[in-house]
Structure 1
Amino acid sequence: MAPPKAALDFLDFVNASPTPYHAVHQSIARLEKAGFTPVKERDSWSSTLKPGGKYYMTRNGSTIVAFAIGAQWKPGNPIAMLGAHTDSPCLRVKPVSKKSGVGFMQLGVETYGGGIWHSWFDRDLSLAGRVLVRDGKGNFVQRLVKIDRPIVRIPTLAIHLDRSSEFNPNKESELFPIVGLVAAELNRTGKKDETKIPETENNPEETFQPLKNMSDRHHPYILELIAENAGVKVEEVVDFEIVLYDVQKSCLGGLNEEFIYSARLDNLNMTYCSVMGLIESVNKSSLSQETSIRLVTCFDHEEIGSTSAQGANSDLLPAVVRRLSILAGSGGRHGDSVSDKSWEHISSDPDVDLTTAFEQSMAASFLVSADMAHSVNPNYVSKYESNHQPEMNKGTVIKVNANQRYATNSPGIVLLQEIAKRAGVPLQLFVVRNDSPCGSTIGPMLSAKLGVRTLDLGNPQLSMHSIRETGGTYDVEHAIKLFESYLSHYSELEPKILID
């Protein structure tokens, strides 16, 4: 049986997304193809956003929010929200990365997140990220880079030299990659002279450089490769944020291609499914009768606690939904026809109170927090609670924790079951053992920050936080169908689950 098209497109997505910046870029490409248009956070939205419109915005180039506004929207109505994250554990190049030892050229890196670092040894690694460059007009612009050939490697110590029963490398002294030999670099054919940023005689301000030159901080050949990939000259590179990634491409695996072998399944799998769920919801379900807003947000920095301007623990989602909650609906009083004026922050509907529209919207809204879940591992079955052992390709997993490490509760489970029935997709449940630590997600923090009902879920996978993870081929389609159904049917189901 041929694998689902969704799984194959996901492979293209993750292979093109070694960093959060690339993941956002890939998401934008799919959203724009589906008719979504960009808006800027710094601009007023009152005269730009229209009922029935589809929009997206970014923050820092690594976090994205996309939303579709129902044609029947009015202030205080529900917002169906879906949240994921774009980052994964990795090794990041240090601001001063030039190192060498016993004839080897090495690269200074620091750990990002809680990776299984021993899985990064003896892999074919390369560099990707964003570069800030001069554009020749006095501006500094972002360029994405992805070097597609292996140039970096972290070598293990031969077993003959270390008979330890455990492999627990020191992250500061034993995790530095090698990138070449000093002698080979000195004799390299085609080597360019080390490029210094030229001093500008006509502009005294440009003669002073607060930081050391980039070629003093990084190996010149690495700078050359980064600049070449960015399509600029070395001297035009001002700074960069570069990480290491495995050049081995994601692929289908298993006897019947039932597995996905890939880097960054946590959490690009959920990022991809969230974006595609939103796109499918507007393709299959018209916005003409929709009374709510369908919103997807994919944050950066979840793996390190989410406390940043572009993380889930920032003001981003509260600020966006507050702005959306007070945007007036498509018509004036008594169903007047749509006009530009009616879309201002002024409502002629006596039932609408803009001073409490945000609180009313949040009380009626819902957030699905989508972050990958644990599949049962056949070699470590004892690590799983005996009645909660999710399997790959058996459906998306609802995550439950009595201590609110996950925000799921019974009303949310009832809602998701009704959504899954409409989508025709299976669901599973997961609870950790009482003697096991439990991870967490963006769900609890956003639930507390917004006062919104929330449920945590994710597709099951093996080897979470390894450089090479394993997921289910058919779960990609399961999640997209589930998310499409949630976004399409939430406004219909929300009034039927009566709690407060």
Structure 2
Amino acid sequence: MAAIDPVALDLVDFLNASPTAFHAVDEAKRRLKEAGFVQISEREQWEIEEGGKYFFTRNHSTIIAFAIGKKYVAGNGFSIVGAHTDSPCLKVKPVSKVTKGGYLQVGVQTYGGGLWHTWFDRDLTVAGRVIVKESKGGNVSYSHRLVRVNEPIMRIPTLAIHLDRNVNTDGFKFNAQGHLAPMLATSVKAEIQKLAEESDPTESKDKKNTDKKKHHSLLLQRIANEASCEPEEICDFELQLCDTQPSIVAGAMKEFIFSGRLDNLCMSFCSLKALIDSTSVEGSLDDEPSVRMVALFDHEEVGSDSAQGAGSPVMIDALSRITHFFSASSTKVLEKAIRRSFLVSADMAHALHPNYMDKHEDNHQPKMHGGLVIKHNANQRYATNAVTSFIFREIAEKHQLPVQAFEKITLDPNMLPEYHSIILFILFMQDFVVRNDMACGSTIGPILASGIGIRTVDVGAPQLSMHSIREMCAVDDVKYSYEHFKAFYNEFSVLDAKIKVDL
């Protein structure tokens, strides 16, 4: 059996370090710093230079990193790959304390469009961030800390078939309000623990009374242990449930990755690694006239309408600050830069499911091991058009990378006089559309394309079990995605100079 590709193994490490969007951004920060990127702050004045590499975060759940070419001048374009850090999950409610039937349970709310039945009978834990009150020398401050309980402490058990005889014929049905609350402990065990704490003279009054708050004291104590603080020092938190089963390379031929959050941490990882590696080689930015950028947003799964989502000004703010830092004039250099820029909106795609062949168009069936899927939708749920799809596929052709469904492309023969043979080639390459009688998901692509006016192509690696607690994709497609994004960073500026549209 062939050795597992190191890019896939690196993705598995990234996934296992990233149970939440906060952790994913933290891991991205670590990798960027290790590669020589400098952290800057949106709150401060930026000091940047040609050839420099930088990043900033917003809410610690969105991160934007960029490398400035040494030949960059204000008004030049940006080569951007965008993805998102969030995934469907169960989030702990602001008031989560539930006691019912002799059990301590945790109230949760659904985030995004998850396959919630897959969360039953899993070994669950919690992770996220807490705001902790700190008192030093009479001064009070508040810190942001990431937490993760590494062992399973919760479970949502299914009902025995003896009490639901028709489950296999009528399907598994549940109520998201009444049936999704995980069990944390039994009331008896919790009461014994409470009595033990009350009899301990070292326990403070505040600590003894934490069970009177909005959350079970048992849960607060576990969170406090992870945050290295006392329960009463926790001012607030954002926590979500997580599966404790680690991500892994699997399958009889070790050709798959089984993991949660592949949508969309797989694309986040591939784009991040591509930016890092495309700028880490000595001299890689010497002849670069543009800015290479990766933008990983929070809240895509719920519409992107937040201060740190793709619907916010976070990316246009970054483009503006970079452009105007190098501009000594009052001319509209930002508008010029946007016209010269290009966004690859990278979000996972639906692979052909062998048990549900009828859910796919006959001529549009993305396969695993087939490389990135270019997504089209006539109603603009995806932002791809003939020009943007051509650019992305031409890069793939030059580097002999597969791209995935059959669609005839018609281009102006005067648009690319040097690429007539390439136009013939792309008539036989594959793109993806959904059936006319099926709903279509969307991505950050149309949001950014319409909000900023940037040319955009929507792509994604094919996967199965999308939005399940446990998803799967192909090892080969991880490698193809990474190599395609890296080639995009290296090739776009040269290719774009040869494309003639709107003249």
Same fold (TM over 0.5): yes
Aligned length: 463
Pair 1:280–1:220, CA change in 2 (3 A)? same
In 1, the alpha carbon distance for the partners of 2:196 and 2:74 equals 62
> Given that residues 270 and 482 in structure 2 are in contact (C-alpha distance below 8 angstroms), is that contact kept between their aligned partners in structure 1?
yes
Cα deviation digits, residues 414-434 of structure 1 (max 9, x gap):
111121133331110211001
Deviation of 1:392 (Å): 1.1
List gaps (5 residues or longer) in structure 1: 199-211, 329-344, 347-352
Cα deviation digits, residues 202-243 of structure 1 (max 9, x gap):
xxxxxxxxxx96752111111111011111122211111000
Deviation of 1:196 (Å): 5.7
Deviation of 1:102 (Å): 1.2
1:319 partner amino acid: D
Q: Please, which of 223, 226, 229 is the counterpart of residue 223 of structure 2?
A: 226
In 2, the alpha carbon distance for the partners of 1:196 and 1:16 equals 36
- The residue aligned with 2:110 is 111
In 2, the alpha carbon distance for the partners of 1:391 and 1:361 equals 36
Cα deviation digits, residues 163-214 of structure 1 (max 9, x gap):
331212111111111111010111239953586659xxxxxxxxxxxxx967
- The residue aligned with 1:123 is 122
Deviation of 1:157 (Å): 0.8
> Given that residues 412 and 455 in structure 1 are in contact (C-alpha distance below 8 angstroms), is that contact kept between their aligned partners in structure 2?
yes
Residue 465 in 1 paired to residue 462 in 2? no
2:122 partner amino acid: R
- The residue aligned with 2:12 is 11
- The residue aligned with 1:281 is 278
In 1, the alpha carbon distance for the partners of 2:212 and 2:223 equals 12
- The residue aligned with 2:323 is 325
- The residue aligned with 2:250 is 253
1:220 partner amino acid: S
- The residue aligned with 1:455 is 457
Q: Please, which of 482, 489, 494 is the counterpart of residue 492 of structure 1?
A: 494
In 1, the alpha carbon distance for the partners of 2:330 and 2:470 equals 49
- The residue aligned with 1:349 is none
Q: Please, which of 434, 437, 440 is the counterpart of residue 438 of structure 1?
A: 440
Secondary structure of the residue that 1:474 maps to in structure 2? Answer: helix
> Given that residues 75 and 354 in structure 1 are in contact (C-alpha distance below 8 angstroms), is that contact kept between their aligned partners in structure 2?
no
Q: Please, which of 345, 352, 359 is the counterpart of residue 383 of structure 1?
A: 359
- The residue aligned with 1:208 is none
Secondary structure of the residue that 1:192 maps to in structure 2? Answer: helix
- The residue aligned with 2:379 is 403
> Given that residues 210 and 231 in structure 2 are in contact (C-alpha distance below 8 angstroms), is that contact kept between their aligned partners in structure 1?
no
Secondary structure of the residue that 2:367 maps to in structure 1? Answer: coil
Deviation of 1:438 (Å): 0.4
Q: Please, which of 375, 399, 423 is the counterpart of residue 423 of structure 1?
A: 399
In 1, the alpha carbon distance for the partners of 2:101 and 2:355 equals 41
In 1, the alpha carbon distance for the partners of 2:341 and 2:205 equals 55
List gaps (5 residues or longer) in structure 2: 405-430
Pair 1:120–1:362, CA change in 2 (3 A)? same
Q: Please, which of 169, 173, 183 is the counterpart of residue 168 of structure 1?
A: 173
2:300 partner amino acid: E
- The residue aligned with 2:408 is none
Cα deviation digits, residues 83-115 of structure 1 (max 9, x gap):
000000000001111111111111100000000
- The residue aligned with 2:192 is 187
> Given that residues 73 and 293 in structure 1 are in contact (C-alpha distance below 8 angstroms), is that contact kept between their aligned partners in structure 2?
yes
- The residue aligned with 2:480 is 478
Deviation of 1:258 (Å): 0.4
Cα deviation digits, residues 390-432 of structure 1 (max 9, x gap):
1112101111111110000111111111211333311102110
- The residue aligned with 1:201 is none
- Which one is further off, 82-91 or 227-236? 227-236
> Given that residues 369 and 454 in structure 1 are in contact (C-alpha distance below 8 angstroms), is that contact kept between their aligned partners in structure 2?
yes
In 1, the alpha carbon distance for the partners of 2:398 and 2:165 equals 57
Residue 310 in 1 paired to residue 308 in 2? yes
- The residue aligned with 2:232 is 235
> Given that residues 133 and 141 in structure 1 are in contact (C-alpha distance below 8 angstroms), is that contact kept between their aligned partners in structure 2?
yes
Cα deviation digits, residues 239-290 of structure 1 (max 9, x gap):
1100000000011111111011000000000110110010011024611111
In 2, the alpha carbon distance for the partners of 1:464 and 1:57 equals 29
In 1, the alpha carbon distance for the partners of 2:76 and 2:228 equals 47
2:345 partner amino acid: S
Using structure 2 for the length normalisation, give the TM-score.
0.90
Deviation of 1:57 (Å): 0.1
- The residue aligned with 1:148 is 150
> What's the C-alpha RMSD, in Å, of the aligned pairs?
1.6
> Given that residues 196 and 215 in structure 1 are in contact (C-alpha distance below 8 angstroms), is that contact kept between their aligned partners in structure 2?
no
2:56 partner amino acid: M
Pair 1:116–1:260, CA change in 2 (3 A)? same
In 1, the alpha carbon distance for the partners of 2:204 and 2:76 equals 58
Pair 1:102–1:419, CA change in 2 (3 A)? same
Residue 244 in 1 paired to residue 241 in 2? yes
Mapping of 1:189-228 within 5 angstroms?
191-193=196-198, 197=206, 215-228=212-225
- The residue aligned with 1:342 is none
- The residue aligned with 2:410 is none
> Given that residues 106 and 184 in structure 2 are in contact (C-alpha distance below 8 angstroms), is that contact kept between their aligned partners in structure 1?
yes
Secondary structure of the residue that 1:128 maps to in structure 2? Answer: strand
- Which one is further off, 20-29 or 469-478? 469-478
